[in-house]
Amino acid sequence: MIPLEYLVLIFFVALGFILVLLNKDKIAIEILVFTIPFAAHPFTDAKFPILLGLNGFLIIGIWLAQTIKKNLFHTQSTKWTVISKKVKYLYYFLIGGILLAFLKSDYSNFNLGRYTPFESIINYSLSILCLILFIKIMVSYRYDFNFQDKLMAVFILTSFLQFGSFLFNYIGYGHLLPKFLVTSAEFSETYYRFSGLLGDYELIVDYTMVVIGFASILVVKRKYMFLSIASITISLLMGILSGTRSFFVIISIYLIIITFLFTIKFHMYQKVFKFGIIIFSASMLIYYLIQNFIPSYTIFMRFNKSIEYIREGNITGAVNRNLIEALPIVVRNSGFLGNGSLLIYQIEGDGMVYHNLYYAIYANFGIIGIIILLSLVISSILILYKIMKKTNEKRIAQESVILFALIISLFIQQIKISATRYVSSILIYAFVFLVIYFCRLKFNKVNE
């Protein structure tokens, strides 16, 4: 008997492949975007574990179908370098990462989890390959702005499934769902941390922020209003349920930036008032749910503990990260070029490389990787700043403000977590950067 998760995988990959061959590419991509924030990796416990989720296999299936269609019917395709010639740097991460990892001979200081070095190299490299193919698929729709809005709506719709799986599990009906559709969490009588179908209670915060950001964009565009407002409410609740203290920090940064720029820069007092009403209403609903139904005590317990640490002057204890001690360990064991494409959980027993994106990139790809990463972040911020400063189109200005606030809050969040842990989180961030690129194209088109 074929396991259910294998049947689900075969069905969706075959469906995506056939839809592309039938010139229904957009439907296939909507399905793909819907699967992005779900772990759903059916081969993780196989003899040779493959950590790709359903989303990764869908990407490969769609790309193969598009390649076959292009070669058989000589259809035109868009080169991914129209985004930027810098995307070619991803080939360095793919090829250079493999070479560096295979050249490494001593793994004694590294904890690669339950994976062998070869398994680790293959899985990390597959993540990068999926990232490259995802960008190549999406670039064809760079001028289809209505479709981009629809894809954001599809993405935020996933919040209902994330939270719905929690409800099923919490009320005692989780056993009725397939194993790969049951919410994962750490749970005891005094401890609860929600991981969602993404499977990580820290990275679920990044996901909720992206949902809030995309939903905010749709609100200012007056599209999918009920879906957007409901998704914001659900995401705020999921952020609290994650028990991750940084959620309060980054949501505050996000709201402060939006409020400041909307009022001071653009004098959009009415828009700020509307957002305030939405956030206030969502907060009241969340407060009611917390008081009556939801096991959200973990985050408040941990938040109070952080306040105590701060009063004692123990900043390391408050943030639960010792970045200073970890720095020489990472540098000493990574050199100038890094260790290549490896799933590294600890170095010399220190886990900061798994809990900080910048350390993770340095450990894998050295100083070159850090320069490329910072270049990507800074260039995205500058693009959005330029749009905010020069656009005369109100909605483009509003979208750029939201994306500006989102990208800053996300990369502050990445000080305490690494998105390179999973394919799903890598794709979530790739989607955000693509939306920023699409926003720039809208700006350029309006100002032609």
User: For position 430, what pLDDT does the model report?
Assistant: 95
Neighbours of 443 (CB within 10 A): 21
Q: What is the mean pLDDT of residues 88-113?
A: 90
- pTM for this model (two decimals): 0.91
Dist CA 358 CA 414 (whole Å): 8
Handedness of CA 80, 81, 86, 90 (dihedral sign): positive
Average pLDDT, the chain: 85
User: For position 189, what pLDDT does the model report?
Assistant: 46
Work out the pLDDT band at 405, boundaries 50, 70, 90: very high
User: For position 20, what pLDDT does the model report?
Assistant: 94
**HEC secondary structure over the chain:** CCCHHHHHHHHHHHHHHHHHHCCCHHHHHHHHHHHCCCCCCCCCCCCCCCCCCHHHHHHHHHHHHHHHHHHHHCCCCCCHHHCCHHHHHHHHHHHHHHHHHHHCCCCCCEECCCCCHHHHHHHHHHHHHHHHHHHHHHHHHCCCHHHHHHHHHHHHHHHHHHHHHHHHHHCCCHHHCCHHHCCEEEECCCCEEEEECCCCCCHHHHHHHHHHHHHHHHHHCCCCHHHHHHHHHHHHHHHHHCCCCHHHHHHHHHHHHHHHHHHHHCCCHHHHHHHHHHHHHHHHHHHHHHHHCCCCHHHHHHHHHHHHHHHHCCHHHHHCCCHHHHHHHHHHCCCCCCCCCCCCCEECCECHHHCCHHHHHHHHHHHHHHHHHHHHHHHHHHHHHHHHHHCCCHHHHHHHHHHHHHHHHHHHHCCCCCHHHCHHHHHHHHHHHHHHHHHHHHHHHHCC
Q: What is the mean pLDDT of residues 313-327?
A: 71
Work out the pLDDT band at 323, boundaries 50, 70, 90: confident
Question: 39-42, long-range: CB within 8 Å, 24+ apart, which pairs?
Answer: 39/180, 39/197, 39/198, 39/199, 39/422, 39/424, 40/5, 40/8, 40/180, 40/197, 41/423, 42/3, 42/5, 42/6, 42/8, 42/9, 42/180
User: For position 104, what pLDDT does the model report?
Assistant: 85
User: For position 265, what pLDDT does the model report?
Assistant: 72
Q: What is the pLDDT of residues 344-354, one digit of tens each?
A: 999 998 888 98
C-beta of residue 220 within 8 angstroms of C-beta of residue 398: yes
Taking alpha carbons only, the member of 146, 195, 139 closest to residue 166 is 195
Work out the pLDDT band at 292, boundaries 50, 70, 90: low
User: For position 314, what pLDDT does the model report?
Assistant: 62
Q: What is the mean pLDDT of residues 327-355?
A: 91
C-beta of residue 335 within 8 angstroms of C-beta of residue 328: no
Tokens coding 9: 């995988």
* Range name among 20-24, 154-158, 279-283 with the lowest pLDDT average: 279-283
User: For position 163, what pLDDT does the model report?
Assistant: 85
Q: What is the pLDDT of residues 30-49, one digit of tens each?
A: 999 999 999 888 888 888 99
Which has more pLDDT, 350 or 77? 350
Q: What is the mean pLDDT of residues 444-448?
A: 74
Q: What is the pLDDT of residues 224-274, one digit of tens each?
A: 999 999 999 899 888 888 878 888 889 989 988 988 888 877 767 676 777
Tokens coding 296: 């959200």
State the number of CA atoms in the 13 A half-sphere of 245 facing the CB.
14
Q: What is the pLDDT of residues 152-189, one digit of tens each?
A: 999 999 999 888 877 777 676 666 666 655 555 445 44
